[in-house]
Structures are given as C-alpha cells and as structure tokens.
Amino acid sequence: MGDGEGRDYGLRLCTDSFSIKEFVTLMNVLIIHYNINSKIHIKRTPTGVKHRIAINSKELIKIK
C-alpha cells in the first residue's frame, strides 16, 4: 500500500502502484461506505503518469 501527503488544502493518497481497477475501487469505497468525496490527481513523472486520490480539507472532517 502506498503512503500519503498532507497539505493545507487536504490530503493525497499516493496510490502510484495500484492498478486502475484497484484505484477506482478505493475511490468507490470512500464514497459509498464513508461518504468521502475524492478527486483524481494526476502526477506526471519521468517514468510515466501516476494516479493519486485527492481529498479536500472539508472532507477530512468526516475522517476525524
């Protein structure tokens, strides 16, 4: 499992090694089971494109 990074505007889950299917499944679990809306953040690197889950700070209140 990947790690994450916190920012003033929210949180990013570093799901770089996840397949697209696993990535979408995780986003669905967040919305269906926890009512946490998230967005796709695309990070471009020299080795390719990485997809990360971005959760804004308003949604983080639900986690607390």
pLDDT in tens, 35-63: 999 999 988 989 888 889 999 999 988 87
Type of residue found at 15: T
The domain segmentation of the chain, as residue ranges, is 4-63
Return the pLDDT at 1: 45
Distance, in Å, from the CA atom of 36 to the CA atom of 55, rounded to the nearest integer, reads 8
C-alpha angle 46/47/50, rounded to 5°?
100
Does residue 30 contact residue 39 with C-beta atoms inside 8 Å?
no
**Overall pTM surpassing 0.85 (yes/no):** no
pLDDT at 45: 87
